[in-house]
Amino acid sequence: MKNRYDVVIVGAGPAGIFTALEMLRQGTKQSILIIEKGKAIEKRSCPKHKVGKCVNCKPCNITTGFSGAGAFSDGKLSLSEEVGGDLPSLIGAEYAKTMIDYTDGIYLEFGADPHVEGLGFTEEKKEIRRNAIAAGLKLVDCPIRHLGTEKAQEIYYAIEQYLIDNGVEIEFNRECLNIVIDENETCTGVIVKDKGEEVVIDAGTVVIATGRRGADWLEKLCAEHNIAHQPGTVDIGVRVEVRNEIMERVNNVLYESKLIGYPAPFKNKVRTFCQNPGGFVSQENYDNDLAVVNGHSYKDMKSDNTNLAILVSHNFSTPFNQPIEYAQKVGELTNMLGAGHILVQRFGDILDGKRTWPEELSQSNVKPTLPDAEAGDITAAMPYRAMMNIINFIIAADKVVPGFASYETLLYSPELKFYSNRVKMDKELTTNIKGLHCLGDSSGWTRGLMMASVMGVIMGRKIVENEQK
């Protein structure tokens, strides 16, 4: 590692790596360093597969390392500009769609499956939409390219090798501690940890792409360096798991049923997210020991269940404007009740006002795919407003997916999505600090693999455009 580069990218998630990749594709001559606090993709592995439970790796191998939260993710590329965050409101929906198609082409070049889920079935789709309308829900059309967890790792490994072979330096196991801002409000570099010492690396351009896990770190940077931002949204919800038979029709026709509703009495936005046919519910651990639930599916290994998230968006303004902290408290309380484990409860028990007991889970058709989830009472920790939104949304969704609101339907908690702290940027992805750009999920503008990758591609192009001026 040298002490000066033209471009320093913090975070080797999709946003960071597609910045470097697109710079190479556009013929850059600039030196590029990527700083990543996790490992190279080929060295990432989650011990849970061997020992059967989460051993709290620091940093977590599931969410850190080359390709970020994307490596072990389900690898579902959403090919619609209506899904994956608010980037289209910044750059324009049409341009966003063009860039999705271009970026999808890059994934194909690196070996993604050419098959796209969710196309065709016009009549069946119409009927599902009719039922959604009758239930007061909006159905969003979103074709999906499903990489699958194993394939996603192969594709990202190929990208990692391509970057290294083409001169991009990647420093793994290296954490960025801060950025350097000079008296002219220009970002001139970053401060990293090197064998216990703090080392400054100078850079002409700094790109922060630290993902969901780096959102609270970036929030601290914004406060310290007056980076213009606004409090964003957090999503609080549950991961729902049902038998595949219940979801069979929507799984076949849509692959992912993206439903949005505003249920009474609160009329907050509630949506489905990250649907995994034949998938597995999983646990993610944040650095502050917060255990949250997630889900993924493999291309070849299938379970008997489908899982998906139901999320309720929360915004705060005054006097309280710390959405991340709010969601963390909900998560901590839920973890406390589960003795550090994810809590699971049957939907019918929630309506009956009772906890679920472990032996009751075995009476159902649906068997939990997260075996170390603790049967209990999620309603003891979930705020009333969020819980009512979720209950009423599930009842409405039952009109689209009969059986969805069954007694045995499993609800896992806490499912938290931290998108907070939206960094204020213009179309050029420029912040109010010269030389500093913020991308991907940590910037608050994206929420998914494709949109984070697209933001990286746009960033890469902008940097090379400026280089060639």
The footprint of ligand FAD (CB under 6 A) covers 10-16, 35-38, 63-65, 68-70, 73-76, 78, 175-176, 209-214, 217, 274, 282, 284, 294, 296, 440-442, 447-450, 452
Minimum CB separation from ligand FAD for residue 156, in Å? 10
Q: Which residue has the tokens 């998560």?
A: 331
HSE-CB for 443 with a 13 A CA cutoff: 31
Minimum CB separation from ligand FAD for residue 83, in Å? 8
Decide: helix, strand or coil at residue 123. Answer: helix
Query: Among residues 104 and 377, whose Cβ is nearest to ligand FAD?
Result: 104
Query: Among residues 309 and 433, whose Cβ is nearest to ligand FAD?
Result: 309
Beta strand pairing status for 343-346 and 410-418?
Answer: antiparallel
Minimum CB separation from ligand FAD for residue 427, in Å? 19
Give the integer Cα–Cα distance in Å for 140 and 271. Answer: 10
Minimum CB separation from ligand FAD for residue 149, in Å? 9
Minimum CB separation from ligand FAD for residue 208, in Å? 9
Q: Could you count the other beta carbons within 10 Å of the beta carbon of residue 3?
A: 9
Decide: helix, strand or coil at residue 4. Answer: strand
Query: Among residues 68 and 278, whose Cβ is nearest to ligand FAD?
Result: 68
Give the integer Cα–Cα distance in Å for 206 and 224. Answer: 17
Query: Among residues 294 and 406, whose Cβ is nearest to ligand FAD?
Result: 294
Query: Among residues 26 and 178, whose Cβ is nearest to ligand FAD?
Result: 178
Q: Could you count the other beta carbons within 10 Å of the beta carbon of residue 89?
A: 10
Minimum CB separation from ligand FAD for residue 405, in Å? 25
HSE-CB for 417 with a 13 A CA cutoff: 28
Query: Among residues 307 and 409, whose Cβ is nearest to ligand FAD?
Result: 307
Q: What's the farthest any 2 CA atoms get from each other in the chain?
A: 68
Query: Among residues 373 and 396, whose Cβ is nearest to ligand FAD?
Result: 373
Query: Among residues 16 and 263, whose Cβ is nearest to ligand FAD?
Result: 16
Minimum CB separation from ligand FAD for residue 50, in Å? 18
Give the integer Cα–Cα distance in Å for 74 and 70. Answer: 8
Minimum CB separation from ligand FAD for residue 295, in Å? 7
Please give the distance of CA 415 from its chain centroid, rounded to a whole number: 11
Question: Counting beta carbons within 10 angstroms of the beta carbon of residue 208, is it exposed (0 to 12), middle (13 to 18) or buried (19 or more)?
Answer: buried
Q: Among candidates 363, 362, 357, which has minimal Cα distance to 376?
A: 357
DSSP codes joined into one string, 332-376: HHHHHHTTTSPEEEEHHHHHHT-PPPHHHHTTSS---SSTTPEES
Give the integer Cα–Cα distance in Å for 7 and 207. Answer: 8
Q: Which residue has the tokens 């970020």?
A: 68
Query: Among residues 28 and 80, whose Cβ is nearest to ligand FAD?
Result: 80
Minimum CB separation from ligand FAD for residue 192, in Å? 8
Decide: helix, strand or coil at residue 89. Answer: helix
Query: Among residues 210 and 421, whose Cβ is nearest to ligand FAD?
Result: 210
Q: Among candidates 164, 156, 191, which has minimal Cα distance to 175?
A: 191
Minimum CB separation from ligand FAD for residue 132, in Å? 22
Phi, then psi, of 366 in degrees rounded to 5: -85, 125
Minimum CB separation from ligand FAD for residue 120, in Å? 21
Give the integer Cα–Cα distance in Å for 367 and 303. Answer: 10
CA dihedral over 378, 383, 386, 389, signed as positive or negative:
positive
Query: Among residues 211 and 368, whose Cβ is nearest to ligand FAD?
Result: 211
Helices 149-165, 14-25: crossing angle, 10 deg rounding: 40
